[in-house]
Chain A
Amino acid sequence: MIPATIVDLLHTGVSVNVGTRDADLMPECTRGWGIWVGADRTAVTLLLTESASAQTLDNLRNNGLIAITCSRPTDHVTCQLKGTVTRIRPATPQDYVQQQAWRRAFLGELIAVGVPAEQTDAIIMQPAVAIEMQVTGVFAQTPGPGAGEQV
């Protein structure tokens, strides 16, 4: 179960960075545009765009292994979730409602660290693919000596 502090963190407009690998273990990174925690706190849903994340989606369809690092831009509080993807599907209107809430918080964070609003508005977040992920490990990742420890 994802600890409450991490659930809170994930709902504060964190950046979403996704790591996967292919059959040859070649790693691939991409950005996700939205994340929220399921009611039972063992699963999260995140959104990716097909155009920016084609290789990532291929990898997930093939082996389902995923790592996500989420960081709050204003204070660098960061965590990493590891797990397995249980479902990949087109985003629904309900997903976009969730994404909208995350987007507001995330763009607020970016503007707070000095990214011009017109740049943040230009980020393409739709159409999206929803990734449902069962979380098997949660790690502290805030920069510094304690980074990498399991939470």
Chain B
Amino acid sequence: MGTVALALKDLWPCFEGIIPATIATCAKDGTPNISYVSQVHYVDPEHVAISFQFFNKTRKNIAEHPFASVMVLDPRAMQAYRLSLRYERSESSGPLFQAMSLQLQAIASHAGMSDVFRLRAADIYAVRRIERVEGFTSWPVPAQDERLPSLFIDPNLHALRVVAEQLNRTECLGELLETALRCLDEFFGLRHTMLLLVDEKRRTLQTIASRGYDENGVGSEVGFGDGLIGMVATAKLPLRLSGLDHTLRYARAVRNRAEALSGSETLCREIPLPGLSNASTQIAVPLMIRHRCLGVLVAESLEPLTLLIREEAVMAIVAGHLASGIDQSAQEADDPVAVEASITASPPVHSAVTQRSFCFYHADDCIFVDGEYLIKNVPGRILWRILKQHQDEQRVEFTNRELRMDSWLGLPEWKDNFETRLILLRKRLEQKCPDVRLVPRGRGRFALDTSVNIILSEKPA
């Protein structure tokens, strides 16, 4: 009888349910029992799961004496293995239970027995010993697969699946963007990322989300063709730069350019692009949909050789999800749809400030708050419209639809992504005057929420 050094994963063909397994148990009075189980499921390197459908003798024995001996067969060569198990726990919810339950239901429904077959629990057993049963077959033991066995998915592929599921679960565009950057960080170690969206009319890209920087830089802009990001938007191809020289560092380049071209007056209306001043590698990938570039996803790293083709591939896939989500949100009807408040609303801010002075510059649709630049262009006008209506008509609730139809805002008539403008506005407010908030009230609807006195003034063109 042979054994030793067999890992559970080496037995992967045994866990596909091709040949039923048997399970021997023992009652407290010493009477042995043996029965079939349709499938032993791999859980992790030290655990397997067995379906619990009926209150049978095996279940009763396990409750009295939690040990089992299971024989599984490798269908490639009828090679038998014996697992010595100890019952640990039962799961009646969670991903493993759901997967096993669905499989059972599918089989039951196929046999017209949906009411009879029902998974009560996934019983989890610790594997104490694995033994290859020698002298079972004269066939040689199948050679180890060079590929990863089918049970053990490449961790990157698994992570991508989880990320895709998380992205598809998001309820609104703002949540989608935040989730994408969070997932790139948590699952793929991309600590410093930013997302810029294309403004076709102004031929610029504007930062709408970032992660891993001291300043979030939301609202900062990059021209088409400028630097790595602008190049990627124009070329519509991903780009990876390693060993970045100081002169290539994008954030500074943009800022220097703004300074050189327009002097400090313009500069005060520029938000610095987020960026690591000493990044050694950058990747930028376009958000493509039907040959249109909707934006650029950027990652940076201080460490050389950390952003490579793997990271580029992951970013390209996530960028595809983002492009679909953004495109869909642009096409969604403005009809207000209720979304659970907990998903969208952040907690109210308690501020020591009692008033906020907003000044609107008609010359460039720019708003300053307490003397500091806040926002300009379309989001600037949207905010001004909201603040004016709040002051003149005491309005609190607004809908995307009414604003979209407001000709003064100068929104493009076709497929304008109004939601992205609101996200930008919301984030700038969070950063510059957190006591004035635009709180989502479901899809296509939001409220102005403020704990301070709002004072408005205007500077004509």
* Mask: chain A, 104-115; 1 = CB below 8 Å from B; 0 = not: 000000000001
B261 at interface by CB-CB < 8 Å: no
Number of interface residues, chain B, beta carbon within 8 A: 39
Task: Determine the chain B residues whose CB is within 8 A of the CB of A21 once the complex forms.
Answer: 24, 26, 30, 32
* Mask: chain B, 48-90; 1 = CB below 8 Å from A; 0 = not: 0000001011000000010111110001011010101000000
How near does chain B come to A70, taking the closest CB pair, in angstroms?
Answer: 10
Task: Determine the chain A residues whose CB is within 8 A of the CB of B65 once the complex forms.
Answer: 25
Query: Which of A30, A65, A115: most chain B Cβ within 10 A?
Result: A30
Task: Determine the chain A residues whose CB is within 8 A of the CB of B1 once the complex forms.
Answer: 51-52, 54-55
Choose, from A2-10, A37-45, A86-94, A138-146, the stretch at the interface: A138-146
Closest to B18 in A: A114
Query: Which of B32, B38, B69: most chain A Cβ within 10 A?
Result: B32
How near does chain A come to B426, taking the closest CB pair, in angstroms?
Answer: 57
A11 at interface by CB-CB < 8 Å: no
A80-B71 Cα distance, complex, nearest whole Å: 17
How near does chain B come to A103, taking the closest CB pair, in angstroms?
Answer: 14
Known: A19-B32, A21-B26. A27 touches B137 (CB 8 A): no
A55-B24 Cα distance, complex, nearest whole Å: 13
Q: Is the CB of A52 within 8 A of B133?
A: yes
Known: A27-B24, A123-B78, A144-B116. A19 touches B33 (CB 8 A): yes
A99 at interface by CB-CB < 8 Å: no
A25-B54 Cα distance, complex, nearest whole Å: 23
Q: Is the CB of A148 within 8 A of B57?
A: yes
Q: Is the CB of B78 within 8 A of A115?
A: yes
Q: Is the CB of B54 within 8 A of A147?
A: yes
Task: Determine the chain A residues whose CB is within 8 A of the CB of B84 once the complex forms.
Answer: 26
B102 at interface by CB-CB < 8 Å: no
Q: Is the CB of A31 within 8 A of B80?
A: yes
Task: Determine the chain A residues whose CB is within 8 A of the CB of B137 once the complex forms.
Answer: 119, 122-124
* Mask: chain B, 80-104; 1 = CB below 8 Å from A; 0 = not: 1010100000000000000000000
How near does chain A come to B17, taking the closest CB pair, in angstroms?
Answer: 13
A134 at interface by CB-CB < 8 Å: no
Task: Determine the chain A residues whose CB is within 8 A of the CB of B35 once the complex forms.
Answer: 69, 80, 141, 147
A67 at interface by CB-CB < 8 Å: yes
How near does chain A come to B285, taking the closest CB pair, in angstroms?
Answer: 47
Known: A51-B134, A52-B133, A63-B30. A29 touches B71 (CB 8 A): yes
Task: Determine the chain A residues whose CB is within 8 A of the CB of B28 once the complex forms.
Answer: 25
A67-B33 Cα distance, complex, nearest whole Å: 5
Q: Is the CB of A27 within 8 A of B78?
A: no
Task: Determine the chain B residues whose CB is within 8 A of the CB of A55 once the complex forms.
Answer: 1
A17-B24 Cα distance, complex, nearest whole Å: 9
Residues 23-46 (chain B) with a chain A CB within 8 angstroms: 23-26, 28, 30-36, 38
Q: Is the CB of B71 within 8 A of A123?
A: no
Residues 381-428 (chain B) with a chain A CB within 8 angstroms: none
Query: Which of A26, A63, A82, A115: most chain B Cβ within 10 A?
Result: A26
How near does chain A come to B105, taking the closest CB pair, in angstroms?
Answer: 15
Closest to A116 in B: B78
Cβ contact of B26, chosen from A18, A26, A69, A71, cutoff 8 A: A26
How near does chain A come to B189, taking the closest CB pair, in angstroms?
Answer: 45
Known: A29-B82, A54-B1, A148-B56. A67 touches B32 (CB 8 A): yes
Q: Is the CB of A147 within 8 A of B31?
A: no
How near does chain B come to A63, taking the closest CB pair, in angstroms?
Answer: 7
Task: Determine the chain A residues whose CB is within 8 A of the CB of B23 once the complex forms.
Answer: 29
Known: A25-B65, A29-B69, A68-B34. A19 touches B57 (CB 8 A): no
Task: Determine the chain B residues whose CB is within 8 A of the CB of A145 once the complex forms.
Answer: 54, 116
B135 at interface by CB-CB < 8 Å: yes
A68-B28 Cα distance, complex, nearest whole Å: 18
Cβ contact of A52, chosen from B34, B135, B139, cutoff 8 A: B135
A19-B27 Cα distance, complex, nearest whole Å: 12
How near does chain A come to B363, taking the closest CB pair, in angstroms?
Answer: 80
A147-B32 Cα distance, complex, nearest whole Å: 17
A54-B2 Cα distance, complex, nearest whole Å: 11
B138 at interface by CB-CB < 8 Å: yes
Question: Which 5 interchain pairs have the tightest Cβ spacing?
Answer: A51-B135, A19-B34, A19-B24, A29-B24, A27-B24
14 new A-B contacts, CB < 8 A, other than A21-B24, A67-B33, A122-B77, are A17-B71, A19-B24, A25-B65, A29-B69, A31-B71, A52-B1, A52-B80, A52-B136, A65-B32, A80-B34, A124-B135, A124-B136, A124-B137, A144-B113
30 A–B contacts from the bound complex (CB under 8 Å): A19-B25, A19-B32, A19-B69, A20-B24, A20-B32, A21-B24, A21-B26, A25-B65, A25-B67, A27-B69, A28-B69, A28-B82, A29-B22, A29-B24, A29-B69, A49-B135, A52-B133, A66-B32, A67-B31, A71-B36, A80-B33, A80-B35, A82-B31, A119-B78, A119-B139, A122-B137, A123-B78, A141-B35, A143-B38, A148-B54
- B residues touching A (Cβ–Cβ < 8 Å)? 1, 22-26, 28, 30-36, 38, 54, 56-57, 65, 67-71, 75, 77-78, 80, 82, 84, 113, 116, 133-139
